Amino acid sequence: MRQLPPVVKNILIANIVVFIAQFLFEKQGLPLELWFALWPVQSGNFKVWQLVTHMFMHGGIFHIFFNMFALYMFGAMLEQLWGSKRFFNFYMICGIVAGLAQLFIDPDFDLAVGASGAIMGLLAAFAYLFPNTPLYIMFIPVPVKAKYAIPGLMALDLFGGISRTPGDNIAHWAHLGGAAAGFILVLIWNKTNRNTFY
């Protein structure tokens, strides 16, 4: 367990606290999702703050575990590289753009929760900055370079978003929106301040 930089640590804590609060309020018959999950505009439940708050809510223990594990693995490296302020801005922008992508590209969703859009932005940035880093992926016995593994995940999201099979409750367009935001941001930052990444 390497020492966590402050923004990653605080985001981890915030997500865990909110997840516990979701569980406790649900038991009282007061689902926090009604106010803080991302709802479609036409649902009547949409509020603008949900573009931020949905990033700190999750739909189950595996959902939060995988998102927070990815935040720990990739976010810590990026925060150490960029500094806390730039990392925080990057994370929040990716998450907000993810929510906007879900609202406008797939407006008929039920509701959306999770940090996955922001996490996909981190993955996109990581693949751009550290393309040859070997990643170990479940069920694949050999490491795969980031420049292949992460675009592969995005391709799966694109397929899922286009095919939209029954029972699929994954916000694929939010994932892709976050990834696109992350890629564009890192391209701009690398072009305007090349020394940032060396």
Per DSSP, 4 falls in state P
Query: Is 54 designated active site?
Result: no
Q: Which residues contact 14 (CB under 8 A, 6 or more apart)?
A: 56
- The Cα 28–Cα 45 span in angstroms is 20
Task: Find the catalytic residue in 54, 58, 116, 172.
Answer: 116
Active site annotation includes 116: yes
DSSP element (H, E) containing 145: strand 144-145
Query: Residue for token digits 């932005």?
Result: 121
Tell me which amino acid residue 23 is. Answer: F
What does the alpha-carbon distance between residue 31 and residue 149 come to, in Å, rounded to a whole number? 36
Give dist(CA 87, CA 116) in Å, integer: 16
Catalytic residues: 116, 175
